[in-house]
Each structure stands twice: as C-alpha cells, then as structure tokens.
A = this chain, B = another copy of it.
Amino acid sequence: MSATMTAAVFQGKGKIGLREVPRPVPGIGQALIRVTLTTICGTDVHILKGEYPVRDGLVVGHEPVGVVEELGPGVLGYQKGDRVIVGAITPCGQCRACLSGVASQCGHGGSGSEAAGGWRFGNTIDGCQAEYVLVPDAQANLARIPDGLADEEVLLCPDIMSTGFSAAERGHVRLGDSVVVFAQGPIGLCATAGARLAGASLVIAVDSVPERLDFARRMGADVVLNFKDQDVVAEIKRLTDGGADVAIEALGQAQTFESCLRAIRPGGTLSSLGVYSGHLTIPLDAYAAGLGDQTIVNSLCPGGKERMRRLMSIVAAKRFPFRELITHPFRLAEIEAAYDLFSHQRDGVMKVAIRP
C-alpha cells in the first residue's frame, strides 16, 4: 500500500490544488476511510478566497462518502470494507458540549468554550477532498450506508441535508405552521424540504433565480416568491395573515436576516443557517422593542453517526429528489475545474460530485 495519497490542499489565498501528501495512519479511536465520493461546499469556496482562515497545507473538504480501509485500536463493530459516510461535524460524544446536547460545539476533550469546535474536517484537521481521510472519534462518527443506497444518494447527508433540516428542527416547526425559506441554494432547498418534512402546511420559498424556485417546488415549497418581482415581506404577511410562524435564513446576509425578522409574526421564530461576514442588526421595530416574544436560533450542521443514520433513512424513504441536487460530476484530478465552476455558480450548478 502506497505511503502517500493525492489530496486537494489549501496553498494560500486563491489556491486549492492537488498535492501528494502522506497517507495517514489511524491511531486510537480513529479510522482511515478510502474516499469514494465527496463534494465542495460554499465554505470551501470561502477558504479558497481567503475569507475563512485555515492553515497552509491543510487538506480541505468535509463531506466524505467512502469505505473503511483501516481501523485504529479501540474502534469496535466495524470492518474493513464497510461502506460509510461521516458527518461534516465530527462530535466526540464524550465532552461537556456533547453530553449537554450541543454536539456541534464539541470540545473534543476540552471544555467546549470555543464555538463551532465540532467542525474539524478541512478546518482544524485534514479533510476529505482526497483519496483517504482520517476520521477522529470514529466510534461516534462512522455511519454505515444501508444496502441499496448509492454513493450519490447519500453524498448530501454529511452537510447540506443535515444543515438544511436543522433549520426546521431548531425552529420547532409544528404541524400546520407557515414557514418561509430565504434563498434556495443547496442548503436553502434542503431547508425547504426540511420545513415540508416537519409538517408545515405552507412552505414559501424565496429566491431570484427561476430555476431555483422551480426546484424549490419539487423540494416541497407550496408557494415561491421572486424577490426581484415583489416586496416579499409584504407578500409573506399577506399570505400568512400577519407573518410566518418560522423564517429560515439560508444565505448569510445581514439584510436577509433582517427580512426574516420582519417576515415572522409576533411570537414567531427566526432560524438562521447563514454564515455571516459582518455584524447583524436587529431592527427595533421588527423586534417590537423587545416585546415580541420572538425566538432567534442559529445552527451548525449536526453530525455524528446517529444523525447520519436518520438522514440516510430519509433518503431511503424517497420523500424528495435530493439526488438531483448533484448536477456536475468530476474526478478528483479535475478538482480545480470543479472549484472554478462551483465558485462562479456557472452552468446552473447546484452541487458537484468529486470522485477520487
């Protein structure tokens, strides 16, 4: 077995390219996965552009589908050859944050006082846009793929399905709720599906790209609104007789965050998925001067093998055409082209698939 592998490596602002790097060896509690499929996330593009800092030389990527190649000591119940996925967030299951029910804020043995500590792949440790990836806390994170599901069908579970669905979950969508989802990129489309899954009777999808709005209908939207054509907040208030029960921010813009607050009814919830790059404002009027009984939640993609098992069970139940979100396949050797296409949102791309 070769001692090196090919991997997509961050090489300074503006450059993610392939490089031969040492193939990792699993230590205690770790597993080595041979990657069979992965994808590129919007966050990876932020890394490429130098907008999110990671160290030079880091292998990027956090959405692995693969096969168990080697198990480190202490990992039980798996075998070489098992087909698995691993969530983008890899909680240890054993720290204060994990044991408190906020596993995405995992402290990996520490106190959990650093936010977003659960996100390690392609952030604080090597990621999965590579031939192999080392999985930390493997016992908590290796999720077996059920027979009958192809790699492409589960590729979106590690991040965008988990993130998208969390909006409805954290927003406590109830049967018969009205939910509006701002922005219908891959995460937003999964949020739309999640709102539908959670029992909303009126799911309103907002975007400006007609193709995305069309896709939103297929992902469960009852009504779609193009913000270029109308005052969407006013229209949402009209459709919902005073404001949506839950508004989901799936873009990461301060202005959208504000629109969400304006779109909910008194007592409503803003469920934020966006990754923001500046301070946010809570307008006094939309916040009823503090007297509106509103709830504002944000979420980092839930991970762990049980989360992945649940998401794959939803894929298996064929509730939505998740697979069609994958619009462009690439080989790992073509990853720079894939980044180029995806980062410029050309050719109607939703998600790419990268096959090592």
The digit string for A181-202, where 1 denotes a CB below 8 A from any CB of B, is 0000000000000100111011
- Complex contacts, A176 vs chain B, CB 8 Å: 309-311, 313-314
Instruction: Tell me how many residues of A have a C-beta within 8 Å of chain B.
Output: 96
The digit string for A258-285, where 1 denotes a CB below 8 A from any CB of B, is 0000000111000011111111111110
**Chain A, interface SS category:** loop
CB distance from A122 to the nearest CB of B (A): 14
Decide if B310 touches A175 in the complex (CB within 8 Å): yes
Decide if B77 touches A109 in the complex (CB within 8 Å): yes
CB distance from A338 to the nearest CB of B (A): 25
For this chain, the copies found in one complex come to: 4
The stretch of A2-10, A12-20, A61-69, A99-107 in contact with B is A99-107
Residue of A170, A201, A313 most packed against chain B (CB within 10 A): A201
Query: Which single member of B201, B265, B287, B299 contacts A293 (CB below 8 Å)?
Result: B299
Instruction: Identify 26 residue pairs between A and B in the complex whose beta-carbon atoms are under 8 Å apart, listed by A's number.
Output: A28-B29, A74-B74, A92-B93, A92-B94, A93-B99, A94-B94, A96-B306, A97-B267, A101-B267, A105-B292, A112-B266, A113-B242, A113-B243, A114-B266, A115-B291, A116-B291, A168-B175, A169-B175, A175-B198, A176-B311, A177-B310, A201-B313, A201-B317, A275-B289, A275-B290, A296-B296
